[in-house]
Structure 1
Amino acid sequence: MIRTVITGVTGRMGSTLLRLARDAEDLRVVGATERPGSTTVGLDAGLAARLGAMEVPVVDDLGKALDAAKADVVVDFTSAEVSVAHAKLCAARGVALVVGSTGFTPESTAALAESAKTIPVVAAPNMSVGVNVVFRMAAELARVLGQGFDVEVLEAHHRMKKDAPSGTALRLAEVLAGALGRSNEDLTFARHGMVGARPASEIGVQTLRGGDVVGEHTVFFFGEGERIELTHRATSRDQFGLGALRAARWVVGRAPGLYDMADVLGFQRTA
C-alpha cells in the first residue's frame, strides 16, 4: 500500500483526489490538509469532503500531517506558492511529491527544483494522460508541417480559474515553440488595436473564461487552403486525479529529481 497525503481536501481537485485514492486498491490515505482557518480543520477528511468517514483528520499544516503518519507521497493541487512551501516540507522529511498546481513563475519553479535535489518530484500543469498525449502529438504535427503553418493555442476554463492563460496552454505553446525551433519570445498572449500583420514566427495563446468549463485546449495549424485542429476537452476532473495518482505510484522510490508526466508515461521529452 502506498501511504498518501492529499492537500486541500475540500477543494475541487482535493476532494476528487481523496475519493479516487480512497477507492484505489493500492493506495491508503494517511493524511489530509486544508488551509489554516478552514472550518473543516479537525473534522474527518471523508466527512469534510462529503465522502463518508475515513478516520483521517483534516489538519491545517502539511508538516503536521507528515509527522503524524509515515507517508510515501504527497499529492498537491493548491497554488504555486503553497506548493513550493509544501515541497520544502517534503524535502525535509524525505517524502516524494506530486504537484498539479499551476501559475508557477521562473522563481517558484526554481524553488521547486531546489527541493527536487533532495526528493523525487513530479510536477505538471495538467496530469491528464490524454492531454500529455496531445503535447506529444502537437509537437509531432508542428515538426511535420514545418514553418508554412501559423500556430495558435486557444484555451477555455470555468469562471473561477485564477491564472491565465492556463498552465496547460503555456506548456502547449512551449512544446510547439521547441518543435519549431522558436523561443518563448515568439509567444503572444493578447492582441488589441492596430497590431499589424501576424509575424510568421508568432505563436498566439488566447484565453476564454466562463461557466463551469473543466478545461478545453485546441491547437490550430492554419495553412494556405487548409487547417488542422487538435483538441482536448475535459468533461470531469477525474482524469486529472487519475493521472496524478498514476504519477504518485510512479514517483515513490525514484531518485531525487524534477520529473513531469512525460517521464511518468515513458515518453521522450518533446521540448
Structure 2
Amino acid sequence: MLKLGLIGCTGKFGKDIIKYILQSKTIILNKAIARQANQFVGHDISLLIGSNNTGIIITDSIKDAANCDVLVDCTNKETFINNLPKYEEILKPVVIATTGFSKDDFIKINQVAKKIPIVFSPNYSFGFYNFLETVKCAVSNLDRETDLQIIEYHHNQKKDSPSGTAIRILNAILESNPKLIDKNININSIRAGSIVGEHRVLLANCNNEEIELIHKISSRESLSKGVVKSAIWLCSKPNGYYSMDDVAKDLIQMV
C-alpha cells in the first residue's frame, strides 16, 4: 500500500485525516509530523484521536518522511511556505491542505512544482465541484441586471477571510461569464461556532425572482476523504501543479 506522511497532524484537520487514513484499505499513515516543541512529539498518534496505540510516533522533522510515497501538509500558509524547500529537497508529491496564500506564495509553489507533483485546492470536497459546475451553468447567460452575492460560513477559528473556497466560486463565476467582470460581486464572510463550511450563491433580479444555490458540509470527513483520494491520485502524476479540478475529472465517478 501507498505510504503517506502527514505534516500538521495535531490540528483539527490533521486529526480528521488521521482517522480517515486509519480506516483506509488503500493507503497507510507512515509518518505523522508536528512542529518542533509540540507537546505531542514523541508520543503515539492515539493521543490525538483517543484510540488504542497505533505504533505511529509523532516526530518533528519533515526529513523523517523521506521514505513516504506522498505528503499532505495541513499546517498553515506561513508554515507551508517555510516547509516548501524541504519538500523540494526530499522530492515527494505534496497535497496542500491549507489556504490563504498570496500571489507571491503561488509563484513559489509553482516553481517547486517543476520538480515535484503538487496539488492544491481550497476545498477537497468532491460535492463542492458538482456545486461549482451548477453555479457556472446558472450564471453563464446571466444579464447584468441580476445581483450576485456569495455568502460563506465557517467556524470562528478560521483565519482567512474570505475563504479560499469563496474566492474560487467568484473566479468560477467570472470565468463562466466574463461580462460580469466589472460587476460588484460581494463576498460576505460569517465566522461562528463550529460551522465546518457552507457556501451560498444568491442571484436576485428586479422581477421579484431569486435563485439560491447552497453547498454545505456538516462533517470534515468529506474533506479528509478528498485529501486522501487526491494524495493517491497525485502519486501517479508527473511533476507539475494540479488543482482539484484535475483530480475531480478523474475521480468524481469513483467517490
Same fold (TM over 0.5): yes
The residue that corresponds to 1:35 in the other structure is: 35
Residue of structure 2 in register with 1:66 after alignment: 65
Cα distance between partner residues in 1 of 2:116 and 2:52: 33
Shift of 1:130: 1.0
Question: Unpaired segments of 5 or more residues in structure 1?
Answer: 187-200
Residue 112 (1) aligns with residue 94 (2): no
Per-residue deviation, residues 206-225 of structure 1 (Å, max 9, x unmatched): 11111111111101111232
Structure 2 Cα separation of the partners of residues 60 and 161 of structure 1: 24
Q: What residue number does 1:195 align with?
A: none
Question: Displacement of 1:182 after TM fit?
Answer: 5.7
**What is residue 176 of structure 2 aligned with on the other side?**
179
C-alpha distance after superposition, 1:229-269 (max 9, x if no partner): 110111111011001111011100201111111100117xx
CA distance in 2, matches of 1:231, 1:213: 14
The separation in 1 between residues aligned to 2:171 and 2:225, in whole angstroms, is 24
Residue deviations 1:40-63 (CA, integer Å, cap 9, x gap): 001112333323322111111222
Q: Does 1:20 align with 2:17?
A: no
Take 2:143 and 2:84, find their aligned partners in 1: how far apart are those partners?
A: 39
Question: What root-mean-square deviation, in Å, do the aligned CA atoms of Structure 1 and Structure 2 show?
Answer: 1.6
> Within 2, Cα distance between the matches of 1:221 and 1:227?
6
CA contact (8 A) 1:146 1:180 kept: no
The residue that corresponds to 1:251 in the other structure is: 234
Q: What secondary structure is seen at the aligned counterpart in 2 of 1:112?
A: helix
Q: For residues 166 and 205 of structure 1, what CA distance do their matches in structure 2 show?
A: 9
User: 3-state DSSP class of the match of 2:178?
Assistant: coil
Q: In the alignment, which of 127, 131, 154 is matched to residue 130 of structure 1?
A: 127
Query: Which residue is equivalent to 2:202?
Result: 220
Aligned-partner Cα distance in 1 for 2:148–2:173:
8
Q: 1:215 is matched by which residue type in structure 2?
A: G
Is 1:155 matched with 2:138? no
Following the alignment from structure 1 to structure 2, what is the Cα–Cα distance between the partners of residues 262 and 252?
16
Matched, 1:93 2:90: yes
- Compute the TM-score of the two structures, normalised by the length of structure 1: 0.87
Q: How many residues align?
A: 249
User: 2: distance between equivalents of 1:148 and 1:255?
Assistant: 45
CA, structure 1 residues 138+27, in 2 after alignment: closer, same or farther (shift >3 Å)?
same
* Counterpart residue type for residue 216 of structure 1: E
Q: Distance in 2 between matches of 1:133 and 1:144?
A: 19
